[in-house]
Amino acid sequence: MGNLKITNVKTILTAPGGIDLAVVKVETSEPGLYGLGCATFTQRIFAVKSAVDEYMAPFLIGKDPSRIDDIWQSAAVSGYWRNGPIMNNALSGVDMALWDIKGKLAGMPVYDLLGGKCRDGIPLYCHTDGGDELEVEDNIRARMEEGYQYVRCQMGMYGGAGTEDLKLIATHLARAKNIQPKRSPRGKTPGIYFDPEAYAKSVPRLFDHLRNKLGFGIEFIHDVHERVTPVTAVHLAKALEQYQLFYLEDPVAPENIDWLKMLRQQASTPVSMGELFVNINEWKPLIDNRLIDYIRCHVSTIGGITPAKKLAVYSELNGVRTAWHGPGDISPAGVCANMHLDLSSPNFGIQEYTPMNDALREVFPGCPEIDYGYAYLSGRPGLGIDIDEAKAARYPCEGGIPSWTMARTPDGTVSRP
């Protein structure tokens, strides 16, 4: 199809899981040939739609969809300034859709275009939570019964404050019962309050209980979610060594990555970083200097499959494994993109997975099969995922700013979410 051209690019917004999602559809001059990609940035969902519809679409229409890297490179600099999450998500939606089209043209799944399978199934981890150690233990046992061999263990969500915000994880989670936050002053500013010092003291107690009750036959992950000071993160990593975590996730904020050198010098707890990265200069020194063990980027926020595959290869050369971000605010198209990368990367480490409800699976035919802690792709050409636009329209997005990003410490100081 030497004369194949992009004829239309549009954004489809939908929320069948209760979380706002953005999917880009790239249509071509070949009737019925189109690709899908994830452009979900829930906190700025309408800004991404505008970026796709008003800027990316005019830039792309008439171009050859087979020139994926050329399109990625030229689109990335078409606004002169680059590496922001809004434009990167817009670019990602297009990039994933082009890989989807390429696979359909070749009659091959995307993982075959990326070098073929490196494993038979994709091991997953899921989130477990609870109001106290016993509730967390019970929830882990339930996940173990489902076949999960890796779990992320939290008590009171991130920081111990729990959450009522369904746009974070599509479920209510209770505040940690045994974390007693410090008293707040009068005239308390609205926000989600947590006590970073009390939270940090609770984490070793949690894992002491879990290892005593569940042993070392299951892998544990914990997400700090950048909610403590850098020196507290160092202390926490040291305190958790004896519990042999699979990794400690986002112990510091991107602004404080220089502290990872001190953490590395003082603790052997494996570290995963990258969820908030949007620029290559953020992760490159961490990989070069062996300051992290797992690269954990949100694939749509760095620009899609094209940069993620390059990052995976660069990480492989430096002994770092992949652990792509897989929260509820990622569309099934994005989930599939993650998993095509997982299957084709020798240095794959683990894949975060947020279970999908029936509505998501109905709107997005072709979702991965999840069986006893592993994910399996369909093997169909392209990403193997589709969207029913009529059904997607039944679940409109709400927009707005999620309340969980409005984090504050006991005296009312704004904190990192």
Which pLDDT tens digit goes with each residue over 16-34? 999 999 999 999 999 999 9
249 occurs within a structural domain: yes
The CA distance from 255 to 300, in Å, is 21
User: Does residue 321 lie in a domain region?
Assistant: yes
d(CA 332, CA 16): 11
Cβ atoms of residues 15 and 396 within 8 Å: yes
Instruction: Classify residue 82: in a domain, yes or no.
Output: no
Domain assignment present for 410: no
- The pLDDT, as a whole number, for residue 188 is 93
Give a yes or no: residue 303 inside a domain. Answer: yes
Residue (of 284, 287, 272) closest to 225 by Cα position: 272
What average pLDDT score do residues 267-279 get? 95
pTM recorded for the entire structure? 0.96
Query: For a pLDDT cut of 70, what percent of the chain falls above it?
Result: 99
User: CA 397 to CA 399: how far, in whole Å?
Assistant: 6
Average pLDDT over residues 308-331: 97
Quick one: 112 exposed, middle or buried, by C-beta within 10 A (0-12, 13-18, 19+)? Answer: middle
For 32, 78, 116, the CA distances from 68, given in Å and listed in that order, are 20, 15, 19
Question: Among 139-148, 234-243, 279-288, 389-398, where is mean pLDDT lowest?
Answer: 279-288
Q: Is residue 339 domain-resident?
A: yes
- pLDDT in the model for residue 1: 61
What is the average per-residue pLDDT within 50-70?
98
Residue numbers of the domain that contains 187: 113-379
Strand-pair category, 192-193 with 150-153: unpaired
- What percent of the chain clears pLDDT 90, i.e. is strictly above it? 92
Is residue 400 one of the residues assigned to a domain?
A: no
| Residue positions annotated with a catalytic role | 158, 225
In a domain, 85, yes or no: no
Residue 249, C-beta contacts closer than 8 angstroms, at least 6 positions apart: 152, 221, 222, 223, 224, 225, 272, 273, 275, 296
What's the rounded Cα separation, in Å, for the pair 12 and 39? 10
Count of the separate structural domains present in the chain: 1
- The phi-psi region of residue 191 (left if phi > 0; otherwise alpha if psi is between -120 and 50; otherwise beta) is left
Can you give the chain as a three-state secondary structure string? Answer: CCCCCEEEEEEEEECCCCCCEEEEEEEECCCCCEEEEECCCHHHHHHHHHHHHHHHHHHHCCCCCCCHHHHHHHHHCCCCCCCCHHHHHHHHHHHHHHHHHHHHHHCCEHHHHCCCCCCCCEEEEEEECCCCHHHHHHHHHHHHHCCCCEEEECCCCCCCCCECCHHHHCCCECCCCCCCCCCCCCCCCCCEECCHHHHHHHHHHHHHHHHHHHCCCCEEEEECCCCCCHHHHHHHHHHCHHHCCCEEECCCCHHHCCHHHHHHHHCCCCEEECCCCCCHHHHHHHHHCCCCCEECCCHHHHCCHHHHHHHHHHHHHCCCEECCCCCCCCCHHHHHHHHHHHHHCCCECCEECCCCCHHHHHHCCCCCEEECCEEECCCCCECCCCCCHHHHCCCCCCCCCCHHHCEECCCCCECCC
> What average pLDDT does the chain have?
96
Q: In this structure, what token pair is assigned to residue 120?
A: 């038979």
The encoded tokens of residue 291 equal 């300051």
R_g (Cα) of the chain, nearest Å? 21
Question: Does the structure show a pLDDT above 80 at 165?
Answer: no
Dump pLDDT digits (tens) for 343-401: 999 999 999 999 999 999 999 999 999 999 999 999 999 999 999 999 999 999 999 88
* CATH code of the domain in which 268 resides: 3.20.20.120
Give residue 248's pLDDT.
Answer: 98
For the cut 70, the answer to whether the pLDDT of residue 68 exceeds it is yes
Residues 80-132: tens digit of each pLDDT: 998 899 999 999 999 999 999 999 999 999 999 999 999 999 999 999 999 99
Distance CA 416, CA 407 (A): 6
